[in-house]
A and B are shown apart, each in its own frame.
Chain A
Amino acid sequence: MEVDLLDRKLVFVTGKGGVGKTTITAAIGILASQQGKRTLICEVDAKGDVAGLLETRPTGFEPREVQPRLFAMSMDTEASLREYLQLQLRLPLVARLGPLARTFDFVANAAPGVKEILIVGKLAYEVRERHYDLVVVDAPATGHVVGQLAAPQAINDLVRVGLIRNQTDWMLEILEDAATTGVVIVAAPEEMPVTETLELVGRLRTETRVDLAGIVVNRVLPELFGRREEELFERLREPDALATLDDAVPGAVEPVLEGARLAVTLRRTRAGHLTRLREGADGVPLLYVPYLFARTQGLRTTRQIAEALGAELGL
Chain B
Amino acid sequence: MPRRTEKAVSTLEQLLAAKEIAVTAGSGGVGKTTVAAALGVLATVNLGGKVLVLTVDPARRLANAMGLEAFGNVEVRVPDAAFDQAGAEPRGELWAAMLDTKASWDDLVRRHAPDAATRDRILENPLYRNITGKFVQSHDYIAMERLYELHHTGEYDLIVVDTPPTRNAIDFLEAPERMADFFSSRLLRWLLAPYQSRFFNVASKPFYQVADRILGSQFLEDIAEFFMLFQTMHEGFVQRAREVTRLLEDRRTTFVVVSTLEPAPVREAEFFIDALSDRRFHLGGLVLNKVLPGYFRRSDATGAAKQLCAEAEVIAAKLPAAVGEPADIARVLREVGESFLNFQVVAKREAEQRAELAAAPDVVATAPYFETDIFDLGGLCRLGEAIWR
A binding-site residues for B, Cβ under 8 Å: 16-19, 22, 45, 47, 49, 89, 91, 94, 99-100, 102-103, 106-107, 109-113, 116, 140-141, 143-144, 147, 150, 154, 158-165, 190-193, 195, 222, 224-225, 228-229, 232-233, 235-236, 240-241, 244-245, 247-260, 262-263, 265-266, 269, 293-297
Contacts and interface: CB of A to CB of B under 8 A. Distances in A.
Contacts of B210: 91, 94, 100
B264 A18 contact: yes
Contact of A232 (B298, B304, B323): B323
B130 interface: yes
Given A110-B182, A236-B323, A260-B339, A150 B134 contact: yes
Contacts of B111: none
A255 B213 contact: no
A159 B217 CA distance: 9
A163 B349 CA distance: 53
A103 B187 contact: yes
Contact of B296 (A147, A229, A251, A255): A255
B137 A112 contact: yes
Contacts of B345: 293-295
Interface residues of B, number: 85
Contacts of A251: 300-304, 307
Contact of A16 (B29, B304, B372): B29
Name, among B126, B207, B333, B371, the residue most crowded by chain A CB atoms within 10 Å (CB to CB): B333
A111 B187 CA distance: 15
A141 B324 contact: no
Q: Is the interface of B mostly helix, strand, loop or mixed?
A: helix
Contacts of B268: 47
Contacts of B136: 112, 140, 143-144, 147
Given A116-B135, A236-B323, A249 B304 contact: yes
B318 A244 contact: yes
A22 B167 contact: no
A17 B300 CA distance: 36
Contacts of A293: 342-343, 345-346
B28 A141 contact: yes
B215 A191 contact: no
Interface stretch (B8-16, B42-50, B218-226, B354-362): B218-226
A60 B28 CA distance: 24
B339 A103 contact: no
A295 to B, nearest CB: 6
Name, among A102, A110, A247, A250, the residue most crowded by chain B CB atoms within 10 Å (CB to CB): A110
Given A89-B214, A111-B127, A224-B335, A269 B373 contact: yes
Given A47-B167, A158-B219, A236-B329, 19 more contacts: A17-B27, A49-B264, A107-B223, A110-B131, A141-B28, A158-B126, A160-B218, A162-B214, A164-B216, A192-B29, A195-B61, A229-B332, A252-B298, A256-B337, A262-B369, A262-B371, A263-B343, A266-B371, A269-B373
